[in-house]
Chain A
Amino acid sequence: MAISPILDSAARALLANETVLSVVGENIANVDTPDYSRQRAELQADTVIAQVNGVAVGTGVHVQTVDQIVDPLLARRQLGAETDASQQSALSDQLGGLAGVLNDLDQPSLAGALGDFFDAADALGRNPQGLAERATLLARAGALVSEFHRRSAGLADLQRTIDDRYVAVASEVNDQLTRIAQLNGAIVAAEATGQSANASRDQRTAALNQLAQTVGISTTEDAHGAVTVSLAGGATLVAGTDVLHTVAIRTNGVGLDGGALHEAQLADPNGVVVRLPQAFATGELGGLANARDVAVVTASANLDRLVDGTGVDPGLRDAVNAVQQAGIDLDGNSTAAVPLFQGTGAAGIALSGAITVRTLAAAKTTEPGDNANALALADLRSTALPALGGTTFSGYVATEESRVGEDATQAGDVATASSLKLKQIQDQRAGISGVNLNEELTNLLRYQHAFQAASRVLTVGNEVLDELLKAV
């Protein structure tokens, strides 16, 4: 009777089960590791080559492969969902910030400053010669100017913050590309020699997801395990171990604060930089650019319109000045050359240098006590202006508040929907690739028993051999 096949078979089983237990241990160790894909050892019966008493029997078992349990289609869907969720989240966050800057439900507010200004005009109407009333009106006009400045500065600060974030995010892209190219190399090299590159694949998946959050990409994997990464416009970023295009950050346009704004552009290995705005219109970069270049700029333009009007139809400055300059001051002089406001836009509006408590025009005639001009100024509170869409100043502020709030709400809803979609895909992926401890512990028991059984076979083989040796 041949004893060695028994021992060989038991030894192979011990080795196979030891390997499987290692894989189970690896899975348990990574139960909470982000982006880890569980692994499974594929056992295969060894080739039947042994002859025992003229009967062919198997020679044991071996681990054929250690596979990752992944769904490539889900991974690809996740890339798109990461891009969409990140873009919508960035836009929603920044529009939320914009709604905060333009918030008129709290103090100080533009609507409140406008109301205070016209309240002071009403009070001046009740006592047109009162120095206290005149001083109050000028102070309220100054407060209104300050509120325009504060709001304008808030928009400029928000735009600068978004641009800083844009630059910071874009600056990370090249490191991500280099990392993906390196991981491509590691995976190809390992798998070419039959080694497992599962850990590198997990890391590459994480790096691709991170890149997809920044900008929309598409990927294809070749037969050797390397992925090619392309931008939405078709430009190839990574092919194998090579980074073919990098991201260059260039200035593009001027911000509300007068400083330069930035844009991600594509640089080839020769250093030639080309603008591809559409290629960077998705992901967090796309969301940030949309908020910075559209939402904030629109809000700023609308704020300026409140001050300047349309150029044809007057805004606040010209409407107020038209009344002020049609009146008579406290000393009986015409105020035709004495505007109340000067300057352009919300950032530039200021009190006129010529305006004082005495040059404020409360009267239309030189008769003492005449309050006609102060009342005309107070009438502006409820005057609908064509430049403001046929609404009043406060109506315009309310409309703008509603518009910005609605944009933020809609962006929030879209971001929530995008996040849910991403979460669903992540859940599906986790359902397939995530580690379940109960499952692993069951496997642990199963393969522990298999290991113990193989040990028992080895013991039995050993005892049989001992019996034979005793007979010698």
Chain B
Amino acid sequence: MPITRVSDAQRFDFLTDHANELAVSISDLNQQIATGKRLTRPDQDPLGSAQVVRAQSSLAALGQYDESTRFGQDVLGAQHDALGQAIDETMARAKELAADSSILTPDARSAASHEVDSLLQSLTAIGNSELAGRRLFGGLALDGPAPFADPLAPGYTAATAYSGSAAQVSVKIGSGSSERVQISTSGDQIFTSSLQALTDLKAAFDNDTPRAPSLDAVESAIGDLESERARVDVRASQLKQRGDQVAALTVTETAARSHVQDADLVAVISRLSQAQTALQALLAAGAQLSQTNLTDLLQI
């Protein structure tokens, strides 16, 4: 139905209604500028809200994967260093002593025996290494007793020296229950052959037995340690790669969430300026409106 007649109340109602709409719009735009958020309530964009909630959950999970990869790399890095020390210092010296055993004098063999004792203690100390109170080769047990027994203690045998945790600890690096990376290996699986080789080497020096078996054992033990260090390096590399992936995913997920939730300040400020101009124009029109009746023209 075409409008053929407009009452005075209608004219002012129109003015009030549109001024209210613009005021609400300006308030909304101001809120977006103040918070930097386009979305603050689910009824503003239901699907966008769901995306934001999911993105927040994903970002929280990614944050934990990042923490876990860093923690795992710290642990594996410490293990790498400890194994390097065992291989390059302790067992390398043991290999030299084993290689020289056939040419050593009795006094030198006695001194070598003492040195092997020292190496045994050194290797035991490496096996008992801690990182922030966690036993690196004892299932990462916290504040637990030393997993390897003192080699100078009576009744010591390499085979029974380890009494630490048998736990194989993993870190979670993804959403699936299989997305784990093992970051600890039971110490007995790593060091028993080395401890046994050193114990045998000491016995060889003490008992003046031929060199060959002891050297073979030491070399085999070094091989075990090197294998473990390689495994540690592979795991560390895996964690490093995953950490890089997580960092990239975090950036992507953050950008996606921002795209949905955050306000485009340039566009918002532009719209605010438009709304303010419209409100000013409306109020000016309102001022004119009050003058467009016969009361003023006829000066009644």
Residues of A within 8 A of B (CB): 31-32, 38, 95-96, 99-100, 102-106, 111-112, 114-116, 118-119, 122-123, 125-127, 129-130, 363, 365, 367-372, 375-376, 378-379, 381-382, 392, 394-395, 397-399, 401-406, 408-409, 412, 427-428, 430-438, 441-442, 444-445
Q: Is B175 an interface residue (CB 8 A)?
A: yes
Docked CA distance A363–B41 (Å): 41
How many Å lie between the Cα of A392 and that of B50 in the bound state? 13
A118 touches B61 (CB 8 A): yes
Q: Does B105 contact A (CB under 8 A)?
A: no
Which of A104, A119, A398, A432 is the one whose CB lies under 8 Å from B60?
A119
- Given known contacts A369-B141, A408-B43, is B50 in contact with A428 (CB within 8 Å)? no
Within 8 A of A (CB), among B15-65: 37, 39-47, 49-54, 56-57, 60-61, 63-64
Report if A427-B3 is in contact (Cβ < 8 Å); known contacts: A369-B141, A382-B176: yes
B127 surroundings in chain A (CB, below 8 A): none
Nearest CB on B from A397, distance (A):
6
Contact (Cβ within 8 A) B43 A96: yes
Report yes or no: A397 in contact with B46, Cβ–Cβ below 8 A: no
Partner of B5, one of A404, A409, A432: A432
CB-CB under 8 A for A435 and B8, given A376-B177, A441-B300, A442-B294: yes
Contact status A402-B47, CB under 8 Å: yes
Contact residues in B for A409 (Cβ distance below 8 Å)? 43, 46
Query: In angstroms, how far is the closest chain A Cβ from the Cβ of B212?
Result: 39
B110 at the A/B interface (Cβ < 8 Å)?
no
For residue B109, CB closer than 8 A to chain A, the reply is no
Sampled A-B contacts (12; CB under 8 Å): A105-B42, A105-B49, A129-B143, A365-B167, A369-B138, A369-B184, A382-B176, A401-B49, A402-B50, A430-B6, A434-B10, A436-B7
A372: B residues at CB distance < 8 A: 170
Cβ-defined contact, A32 with B67, below 8 A: no
Asked if B9 lies at the interface with its beta carbon under 8 angstroms from chain A, I say: yes
- Select which of A118, A125, A379, A403 is within 8 A of B68 by beta carbon: A125
- Given A119-B63, A368-B139, A435 contacting B171 (CB threshold 8 A): no
Question: Does A369 contact B53, Cβ atoms closer than 8 Å?
Answer: no
Question: A437 with B56: in contact, given A32-B9, A129-B141, A409-B43 (CB under 8 Å)?
Answer: no
Complex CA–CA separation, A431 to B4 (angstroms): 7
7 other A-B residue contacts (CB within 8 Å) besides A115-B61, A427-B3 = A100-B41, A368-B138, A369-B134, A378-B64, A405-B42, A430-B10, A436-B6
CA distance A100 to B140 in the complex (A): 46
CA A368 to CA B294, docked complex, whole Å? 95
- In the bound complex, CA of A116 to CA of B60 (Å): 8
In the docked arrangement, what's the CA distance between A104 and B51, Å?
11
Instruction: With A32-B8, A105-B42, A129-B141 as known contacts, state yes or no: A394 contacts B167, CB within 8 Å.
Output: no
Residues of A within 8 A of B44 (CB): 405
Residues of B within 8 A of A381 (CB): 57, 61, 175
Identify B71's interface contact among A102, A126, A442, CB under 8 A: A126
Contact present for B170 and A105 (CB under 8 Å) = no
Contact residues in A for B67 (Cβ distance below 8 Å): 122-123, 126
> In the bound complex, how far is the Cα of B63 from the Cα of A399, in angstroms?
23
A104 touching B53 in the complex, CB below 8 Å, given contacts A119-B60, A122-B64: yes
Find A104's partner among B1, B8, B49, B138 (CB 8 Å cutoff).
B49
What's the count of A-B pairs with C-beta under 8 Å?
Answer: 203
Q: Judging by beta carbons under 8 Å apart, are A367 and B139 in contact? A: yes
How far is A152 from B221 in the complex, measured between Cα atoms in Å?
Answer: 63
Q: Is B78 an interface residue (CB 8 A)?
A: no
Least Cβ distance of B264 to chain A in Å? 17
Q: Are A99 and B43 in contact (CB under 8 A)?
A: yes
Check A105/B52 contact, CB under 8 A, given A401-B42, A405-B43, A427-B3. Answer: yes
Question: A32 — which chain B residues lie within 8 A by C-beta?
Answer: 8-9, 12
Minimum CB–CB distance from B93 to chain A (whole Å) comes to: 31
- The distance in angstroms between the C-alpha atoms of A176 and B295, with both chains bound, is 39
Interface centre among B52, B138, B140, B298 (most CB of A within 10 A): B140
Q: Chain B, 159-188, contact with A by CB distance < 8 Å: what is the 0/1 string?
A: 000001111011110011100100010000
In the assembly, what is the distance between CA of A106 and CA of B41, in Å? 8
- Interface: B288 (CB within 8 A): no
Contacts of B170 in A (CB 8 A): 371-372, 375
- B42 touching A428, Cβ below 8 Å: no
In the complex, are the beta carbons of B49 and A127 less than 8 A apart?
no
**Min distance, Cβ A205 to any Cβ of chain B, angstroms:** 15
Query: In the bound complex, what is the Cα–Cα distance between A434 and B12 (angstroms)?
Result: 12
| A438–B46 CB distance below 8 A | no
**Are A408 and B139 in touch, CB under 8 angstroms?**
no
How far is the CB of B58 from the nearest CB of chain A, in Å?
A: 8
Q: Are B5 and A431 closer than 8 Å at their CB atoms? A: yes
Q: Does B230 contact A (CB under 8 A)?
A: no
> Cβ of A104 and Cβ of B42 under 8 Å apart?
yes
CB of A412, distance to nearest CB on chain B (Å): 7
